[in-house]
Structure 1
Amino acid sequence: MSILSTPLELISHGGAAAVSGAIILAAECLIFFLFALVIRRLIIFSGKKEVKISGRVIRKYVVPEHRKWQGKASVTVLAQNALEIEVENRFFQFLPVSWKYDRISEGDQIDVAIQRGRIGNEIRIVDIGPF
Structure 2
Amino acid sequence: MNFPTIPFELAGVDGAGTAPKVILVAGACLVALVAALLIRRLVLFLWAKKVIAVGNVSRKWVIPEHREWQAKAYVKVPAKNMIEVCVENRTLEFAPIDWKYDRVSEGDQIEVALQRARLGEEIRIVDIGPF
Q: TM-score scaled to structure 2, two decimals?
A: 0.91
2-structure distance, mates of 1:14, 1:58: 62
- CA-to-partner distance for each residue in 1:39-74, whole Å, 9 max, x for gaps? 110111111010001011001111011222322332
Cα deviation for residue 109 of structure 1 reads 0.3
CA distance in 1, matches of 2:31, 2:105: 44
Indicate whether 1:108 and 2:108 are aligned.
yes
- What's 1:73 paired with? 73
Aligned length: 129
Structure 1 spans left out of the alignment, 5+ residues: none
Contact 1:10–1:20 (CA under 8 A) maintained in structure 2: no
Structure 2 unmatched runs, 5+:
none
Q: CA deviation at 1:89?
A: 1.2
Instruction: Check if 1:17 corresponds to 2:43.
Output: no
Match for residue 84 of structure 2? 84
- Tell me the percent identity: 53
SS at match of 1:119: coil
Change (3 A) 1:126 1:87: same
Deviation at 1:10, TM superposition (A): 5.3
Partner of 2:59: 59
Alpha carbons of structure 1 residues 31 and 114: separation in structure 2 relative to 1, 3 Å: same
1:29 aligned to 2:29? yes
User: TM-score, with normalisation over the residues of structure 1?
Assistant: 0.91
Superposed structure 1 runs of 4+ greater than 6 Å apart:
none
C-alpha deviation, 1:129, in angstroms: 0.3
| Matched-pair contact (CA < 8 Å) for 1:12–1:18 | no
Q: Distance in 1 between matches of 2:52 and 2:19?
A: 54
2:105 alignment partner, SS class: coil
